[in-house]
Each structure stands twice: as C-alpha cells, then as structure tokens.
Amino acid sequence: MIASVAAPLLRFDGVRIETSGRAGSEARTLLEGLSFDVAAGEFVAVVGESGSGKTLAARSILNLLPAGVRQTAGRIELQGRDLSQLSAPEMRQVRGAQIGMVFQEPMVSLNPAMTLERQLAEGMQLHRNLPSDEIRRQSIAMLERVRISNPLRCLKSYPHEFSGGMRQRIMLASVLLLKPKLLIADEPTTALDTLSQREVLELMVELAHDNGAAVLLITHDLGLVARYTERAIVLEKGRLMESGFTDEILANPQNPYTQRLVASLPRGRADLVPPPDSAPTLLQVRQACIEYPGRPGIWRAGVPTQVVHGVSLDVRAGEIVAVVGASGSGKSTLGRAVLGLKPLAAGTISFDGIELAAMTAAQRKQFRRDAQLVFQDPYSSLDPRRRVRDIVGATLRHVDDLDAAERRARVQSILEEVGLSSFGDRFPHQMSGGQRQRVAIARAVVSRPRLVVADEPVSALDVTIQQQVLTLLQTLQAQYGFACLFITHDLAVVRQIATRVVVMSGGIVVEEGPVASVFAAPAHKYTRELLEATPSLEVAVLPRC
C-alpha cells in the first residue's frame, strides 16, 4: 500500500489547538505544529499517553472540539480541501458520509433512549435518500457482517440490552454503513476485555479493507499499534515526537520519549526467583464457593447467583501468585473473600493454618494487620475528605503496641519509600492517578502485613506510570518479603511480576502452574486464546537494540 502520488486522503499541516481564554484563565496551547499525512486505505496510529492531545487531534478533524477549545492555526485537508474553513452545512456533509468516527465508552456511545434501528438508519436517511425498506435491508446485512446474532430482534431493542463488545460492533456497523473514506477510531477497545477487544479490532480491519477506507487509530496501547497499524505517530504533551513505519519505531525508537514508552512495556524477567520450597504455606483456599444475594421480591427471598464455585489455591510466604481471567471470572470476588470481606457459601479459607470463619476476636484483629488489600481505581479507593497522612495511617490505629509518635514516624518512612515524602497533608484530588496508587500501596504495606492482595493495581494507569508502580511494588515485596496475590487481566504484567499463575474463567480455575511453563505450553484452550489475544506480548519479544 504505497502512498498514492495524488493529494493524500488526510493531511495535517502545522495544526495548533488552544483553550480560548475564558473566565480569566489565559489561553493554553494543547497541541502544537502537528503535521502528518494519511493515504487512502492506509492504517495509521496516533499514540500517546493521557494528556498528550491525541484525542483532540482526532476530534479537530470533524471540528467536534469541546466547548472552549479552538483550532487556532494550521490546515486539515481532506483530499486537498481544508476542513477547518468549511461552513457548518458543508462540514455536516463531510461528517458521517466521508469521515466516520467510533468512540471509547461502549456504555454511552449509543443513545440509550432510541431503538438501534433508528440510530442505524439516522445517518443513511441524512446522507442517502434511500427508501426505508432499502435502509432496513442494508442495516440487517451490515449487522450480520459484524456477527450480531438475530439482527431483526437487535433492530427493535435498545443499546442497554447488549454487552460492551457487541455495542462497539453495532457502532462500527452504523458508521461503516455510510462507507466513509476515513474511519477515526478513538480508543475503540480500551474499555473492553482482551478477548472482545481482539474481535472488535479484527472486524474493524476487515470492514475497512472491504470498503478501502483508511483508519486513524487513536490509542495508548503499543500492542495494538504493533499488530494493526502500518504507520504510527507518537505524541507527548501536545508535541509530535516521532512518526514513521510502526515496526521501525517499535524496533529502534529514535526519540527518547518513544524509547521510554517502548521500554515501559511489561517484559518477562528472568531474575524472578520462586520462594524456597521450605517456605510455609501462608494461605490455603479449599473448594471456596461465593454467592451474591439476588434482589428480594416482596415475599420470596432473592435467587442468589453463584460467582465462584470450588476454587482451591495455596500461597506460600513471600511468593507472588497471579490470578488471571476476563472481567466477570470471579477473580476480584475471590480476592476479597481471601481477606474475609466476602462471606463464603461453601469451602474454607485459612491463614497461618487458622480458618477465617473460626477466628477469635484477637486472631481476627491480628489477621487485619497481617492481610491488606490494594484496590484498582485510585479515585474510588481513597477517602476524598481525608489527608494522605490519615489514609496511610488508618491500619496503624488498630495496632496497640505503637504510640502516636511511632505511628507518625512509621507513616513518614513508608511515604518516603513510595517517593511521596512531602505529600503528607495533601488531599487525594490534589494528586495524579499514579501518585494516588502509591498512597494505596503505602497504606497496604505500612502495617508490615504478611499477605497483600493487589486487585488490578495498575490497569487504570498509563503505560509509563504502570511500569513505575509495578517496580515499586516489586521492590517493597522484596524488602518486606510479604506474599502477594496479584489479580489482573493483563498477561504481560503477570510475566513481569509473578512466579506462579492461576487462570480463572466463569468462576472456576481452568489452569494453574509456574508462569514460564504455563506461558510456554498452555494446556487449557481458554489460556491459549488469552495468550494470543494479548498483543503487547509480541512487541516485548522483539529484539532490543
């Protein structure tokens, strides 16, 4: 697919985007001097972390910038025609017909109060004056093409009746019905789990090829860039860092930022040493079953739904065990049950040989100190009304053999270890996602626990920050020697941190064993699919030069 000699399909030329000085705040530049081309039918990625301006670039093409943000310089040409000079009616001709756009959040990318038939037909009625039955026929055909079962029923129903993956596919169908020349995909699969992510992207590529449409993929995931795009453009804080062919950039990035980006992809580590066999088993989970109570009617009790059934696993002192599975596989529920925060419907969990359910008050108090939890969402796991010092010191309040001075000293030292020494009296909303997650880790580690359950601690963070938090967790684990049950859906992270892995699906353990052997020769079909669907693994394999 060599770029055709005629004017490229899309050309960015020195585009600058600024916030309009409103309510006293002076104008800030969000995007500076961006220039690149997209040829017809070409797949180009725009890569960058949050705040890099990649979404703004995408939205400026169709002039969909949020209120208070304007394009103040440069030209955006579609086949030589400058889009930023178009009048509103002219721009409306381009939107949908020539350029289609797919969005990130499946939950809110389709209008919840409108049947799918009308949402699919809306674009067609506007741009192609076709009779309604013809539109209906084409819609059904497209739905079948995106592998939606029973398209007729789908037309009559509402968006909330479908899963995230299906909704993204329906959105693809509605955009591609109009056969646009350019498809802008703004992080289309970030909110999906690995399997449905792969389905949606492969479908997008197939459909784009069928229509000969070019695709502009906006993403922060280098794995996707590697697998699905030919050329890539790297942005950082609104500046163009590097652009070129994808495999060249990933193989030997020239720009220091790109290098840091590629380096921060989770890689397997040879120096992970499993604990000695002599280490005692700290945590024993035997045939654990957990249920969620159903919604009670007026008289009959709610029908409980089984989430985890018959799971057994052991964690030895100082060992890091990863629990992997798609969302809804019950791994988070298991994590909470291990800490006694979720009652068991059947089976037993014992810590240091003592069954959780049978613990005396004193034993439970000690258990509270010995087992801690690190949460996934930094915004929801820290109390917005409390300062960092109180949050981190919370567990110490129940430790009797420390007086106030010692507690303060202990908190200050742990803050230094996580690199937040001067953040003591700040509030959570005054800190970034990465810093908050470090506070969460400090909170978990300060009481010198013997077991830390980390429930997807890094999946909400940007790639570079993800790497920093992972290394921090590893250094602390090495220093204090606590056992860690690491819950995640990203196999690449598993390879970097854990020595043993437990794969869960639908509430049961489908496979278990040392990381190296499971990754090399996955026994269970699900594990194989999961491995294949994780793109970032391939990049990491590339030779580092």
Residue 108, C-beta contacts closer than 8 angstroms, at least 6 positions apart: none
Segments of 427-543 assigned E as strands? 451-455, 483-488, 500-505, 508-514
Question: According to CB under 8 A, which one of 382, 476, 485, 493 is a site residue for another protein?
Answer: 382
- Give the span between the Cα atoms of 517 and 94, in whole angstroms: 53
**Contact mark string toward another protein, 417..456, x via CB under 8 A:** ------------x-------------x-------------
For another protein, the binding residues in 505-534 under the rule CB under 8 A are none
For another protein, the binding residues in 243-282 under the rule CB under 8 A are none
Tell me if 62 contacts another protein by CB under 8 A. yes
Least Å from the CB of residue 354 to another protein: 17
Question: According to CB under 8 A, which one of 3, 126, 516, 542 is a site residue for another protein?
Answer: 126
For another protein, the binding residues in 144-163 under the rule CB under 8 A are 158, 160
Nearer to another protein, 246 or 372 (CB): 372
Short-list 261, 265, 230, CA closest to 247: 230
Residues 232, 240, 54, 44, Cα dihedral to 10°:
-20
Nearer to another protein, 56 or 463 (CB): 56
Short-list 314, 438, 312, CA closest to 375: 438
Least Å from the CB of residue 104 to another protein: 7
Q: Are 17 and 66 in contact (CB under 8 A)?
A: no
Kind and range of the H or E run holding 232: strand 231-236
Nearer to another protein, 24 or 543 (CB): 24
In this structure, how many other beta carbons lie within 10 angstroms of the beta carbon of residue 328?
Answer: 14
Least Å from the CB of residue 522 to another protein: 32
Tokens 């790497």 correspond to: 467
DSSP letter at 95 equals: B
Residue 475, C-beta contacts closer than 8 angstroms, at least 6 positions apart: none
- Give the span between the Cα atoms of 526 and 507, in whole angstroms: 13
Least Å from the CB of residue 67 to another protein: 7
Tell me if 383 contacts another protein by CB under 8 A. yes
Tokens 């310089």 correspond to: 73
Tell me if 27 contacts another protein by CB under 8 A. no
Both tokens of 379, joined, read: 């915004």
Both tokens of 4, joined, read: 């055709």
Find the part of the chain contacting another protein (CB under 8 A) among 1-9, 285-293, 319-327, 394-402. 394-402
Both tokens of 173, joined, read: 């169908």
Nearer to another protein, 110 or 510 (CB): 110
Tell me if 176 contacts another protein by CB under 8 A. no
Question: According to CB under 8 A, which one of 17, 30, 94, 492 is a site residue for another protein?
Answer: 94
Tell me if 24 contacts another protein by CB under 8 A. yes
Question: According to CB under 8 A, which one of 298, 358, 362, 545 is a site residue for another protein?
Answer: 298
Question: According to CB under 8 A, which one of 41, 53, 74, 123 is a site residue for another protein?
Answer: 123
Tell me if 111 contacts another protein by CB under 8 A. yes
Nearer to another protein, 123 or 266 (CB): 123
In this structure, how many other beta carbons lie within 10 angstroms of the beta carbon of residue 334?
Answer: 28
Find the part of the chain contacting another protein (CB under 8 A) among 3-11, 237-245, 395-403, 466-474. 395-403
| CA 514 from centre of chain | 25
Tell me if 60 contacts another protein by CB under 8 A. no
Tell me if 341 contacts another protein by CB under 8 A. yes
Q: Are 177 and 211 in contact (CB under 8 A)?
A: no
- Give the span between the Cα atoms of 118 and 131, in whole angstroms: 14
Size of the site for another protein (CB under 8 A): 60
- Give the span between the Cα atoms of 14 and 85, in whole angstroms: 15
Question: According to CB under 8 A, which one of 5, 26, 87, 113 is a site residue for another protein?
Answer: 113
Burial of 115 per CB tally in 10 Å (0-12, 13-18, 19+): middle
For another protein, the binding residues in 342-371 under the rule CB under 8 A are 365, 368-369, 371
Q: Phi and psi of 539, rounded to 5°? A: -60, -45
Question: According to CB under 8 A, which one of 4, 6, 22, 416 is a site residue for another protein?
Answer: 22
Q: Are 107 and 142 in contact (CB under 8 A)?
A: no
Least Å from the CB of residue 368 to another protein: 4
Q: Are 104 and 188 in contact (CB under 8 A)?
A: yes
- Give the span between the Cα atoms of 367 and 361, in whole angstroms: 10
Question: According to CB under 8 A, which one of 381, 477, 488, 527 is a site residue for another protein?
Answer: 381
Question: According to CB under 8 A, which one of 377, 529, 532, 538 is a site residue for another protein?
Answer: 377
| CA 395 from centre of chain | 30
Find the part of the chain contacting another protein (CB under 8 A) among 93-101, 145-153, 220-228, 241-249. 93-101
Residues forming contacts to another protein in the complex (CB under 8 A) are 22-24, 59, 62, 64, 67, 92-97, 100-101, 103-105, 108-114, 118, 122-123, 126-127, 158, 160, 171, 174, 298, 336, 339, 341, 365, 368-369, 371-373, 375-377, 380-386, 394-395, 397-398, 429, 443
